[in-house]
Structure 1
Amino acid sequence: MVMKGKFRRGLRHHLGIYLFLLPAVGFFLVFSVYPILYSFVMSFTNWPLVGSPHFVGLHNYSQVLHDPVVGTSLVNAIFYLIVSVPIQIVLGLLVAMGLDRPMRGRGALRLMYYLPVITSWVVVTLLFEYLFNTDYGIINWLLMSLHLSRSAVPWLANRYSALTVAAILGGWKGIGWAMMIFLAGLQGVPDELYESAAIDGAGKWKQFWSVTLPMIRGTFFFVTVMLMMGAFQVFISVFILTGGQPANETQVPLVWMYQQAFSNLEFGYAAAFSWVITAIIVVFTVIQFWVFRPRSVQEV
């Protein structure tokens, strides 16, 4: 009885808080949890948008695993990851370290580096499409003007050159985000550690490896995981630049998933593919947890 009375008093005391949270929780359940659960159910069905869904068991998953375009899209996503993620990590960390020091105009510089993050994907992708256009692109004009190329390079017509353009775009756009996260981590490193390292004779490079990197290990892990997840979810840039063409050579998972769902009306296939991608991302994340796990002195 005493516990029940305490529960009732606590409920009355926090009732206002619960009521304020209710719309947000309802929004989350309706627009996040329900679609996720529904997509999982849909992955076991065949639903061409007309009539009722038909249960097909694991047929969609089997179709995904045997689809050569899926393999191509995964290889392309990994290539995109290999090119774009290091750009964001290395340049983001370098810029963060440069802007971590007191200097005039530091706030304006931070804003300038962060602007690409909040710029529309569609706008910057169309800009890159213009820059790398085969017929009138500025990049080809510069190369031929400097006699570095005798003819126009079809940047967006070849598989890996098109993916490289998309990866450079993604890398450039994400530098500012990585910079802000790294900057937050760097500001948590005590100055005393650098002073002690300097007294011991450590130079800037030694301080970076012995003090900076170990102290921002968690930040580094977070940035790496988020960027790798983002690489597997690249969509707008590839969709606008190539649409997965020619001959599906530049397909990436989300573009292929979108085309299967909304062009071919293969919603069950697209849902199954989305869960396969989710499983791959989880595996990558677990591997990174293992790599970045705290190590004992014996392991080191």
Structure 2
Amino acid sequence: MLNQTAAPAAGPKKRSWLRRHYGIYLFVLPAIGLYLTFSVYPILFSFVKSFTDWQLIGESPFVGLANYRTVLNDPHVGIAFKNALLNFVVSMPIQIVFGLLLAVVLDRPLRGRSFFRALFYIPVLVTWIVIIQLYLYMFNKDYGLINYLLLKTHLVDEGIDWLGSPTRTLVSVFAVGGWKGIGWSMLIFLAGLQSIPTDLYEASGLDGASRWQQFRYITLPGLRNTTVFVVVLLTIGAFNVFDQVFLLFTGTAPFEYDVPLSMIYNKAFTDLNFGYSAALSYVVAIVIVVVSLLQYKFMPKNAGSEG
């Protein structure tokens, strides 16, 4: 007789595997439910409503692409995107330049560097409500600290009315936003610096390279991928700016000061034009995705230095 060993049944093993792991899925299930309820469902719901004349009470008739055509033909949308671009131009260099310099300095074995890292990160944690109050004080035409310093150093003959025009107001408040985000950029660059081998600095030092040459030929090339990451996230943040504009005008801002998110908010909760607001939100999302992908594709990256 041939000895035949029966193949083990798959059913009990499957049941035992489920019995061993079902508790994990039970723990994850509430988080998945909350994510679907408060993230996925609102996105899908607003996308459907962007094709309707969305009414809170009563029917919401289907209007097709009418809301999107209105958005694309609205001159105020162009102003909002121009202001978002201004935010990018003003705040991004501040965060990248000063964040990188602080990261390079605080990456060295200095006494108390942990304290200074925490100190420079504090503005990131401060709420915009507090920052706006400081901004209104510092940029006040009559008694603001900025005008006081400019007058004392004889850079201007009279105080600048920072809140007197849309351009000056937005440039100054976006510059404050850049200052607020320096600590975040500093931490990202600090993380990138850890991936640069220290023996490169040691070898270059033996060859007589100066600190500037090490920074130019080792640090900057080694941070290419980190810089791409920072630029892409700052671009997304520039188009998602909202808090400072909303708080500066305590709600509804004049259209000259609008940015995409404040315009979405005003169209929905001031004009009650929810269909237009939903369509505008998807136009903004598409612009952000396209710009971010183009940046990632065309900015130079180093495949080896940062993994």
The two structures have a TM-score, normalised by structure 1, of 0.90
Q: For 1:109-148, what aligned pairs fall within 5 Å after superposition? A: 109-144=116-151, 148=155
SS in 2 for 1:54: coil
Q: For 1:94-243, what aligned pairs fall within 5 Å after superposition? A: 94-144=101-151, 148-242=155-249
Higher mean C-alpha displacement, 79-88 vs 287-296? 287-296
State the alpha-carbon separation in 2 of the partners of residues 62 and 147 from structure 1: 51
- Give the equivalent residue in structure 1 for 2:5: none
How many positions carry a matched residue from both structures? 297
The aligned amino acid for 2:287 is I
The 8 Å contact of residues 225 and 301 in structure 2, kept in 1 or not, is answered as no
Change (3 A) 1:288 1:275: same
Change (3 A) 1:171 1:294: closer
Cα deviation, 1:140-177, whole Å, max 9, x if unaligned, reads 34444555444442212212111111111110110001
2:87 to 80, 83, 96: 80
Is structure 2 residue 277 aligned with structure 1 residue 270?
yes
Cα deviation, 1:235-284, whole Å, max 9, x if unaligned, reads 11122224798852221111111111100001111111111111111111
Q: For 1:236-251, what aligned pairs fall within 5 Å after superposition? A: 236-242=243-249, 247-251=254-258
State the alpha-carbon separation in 1 of the partners of residues 213 and 283 from structure 2: 42
Identity rate, percent: 50
State the alpha-carbon separation in 1 of the partners of residues 243 and 102 from structure 2: 26
State the alpha-carbon separation in 1 of the partners of residues 120 and 34 from structure 2: 33
The two structures have a TM-score, normalised by structure 2, of 0.88
The 8 Å contact of residues 222 and 302 in structure 2, kept in 1 or not, is answered as no
The alpha-carbon deviation at position 139 of structure 1 amounts to 2.8
Structure 1 unaligned spans of 5+: none
Higher mean C-alpha displacement, 124-133 vs 285-294? 285-294
- Give the equivalent residue in structure 1 for 2:292: 285
The alpha-carbon deviation at position 216 of structure 1 amounts to 2.5
Higher mean C-alpha displacement, 54-63 vs 187-196? 187-196
Aligned residues: CA RMSD: 2.4
Cα deviation, 1:53-83, whole Å, max 9, x if unaligned, reads 2211111111111111100110111011011
The alpha-carbon deviation at position 203 of structure 1 amounts to 2.6
The aligned amino acid for 1:38 is F
Higher mean C-alpha displacement, 127-136 vs 225-234? 127-136
State the alpha-carbon separation in 1 of the partners of residues 50 and 215 from structure 2: 48
Change (3 A) 1:116 1:18: same
Change (3 A) 1:214 1:138: closer
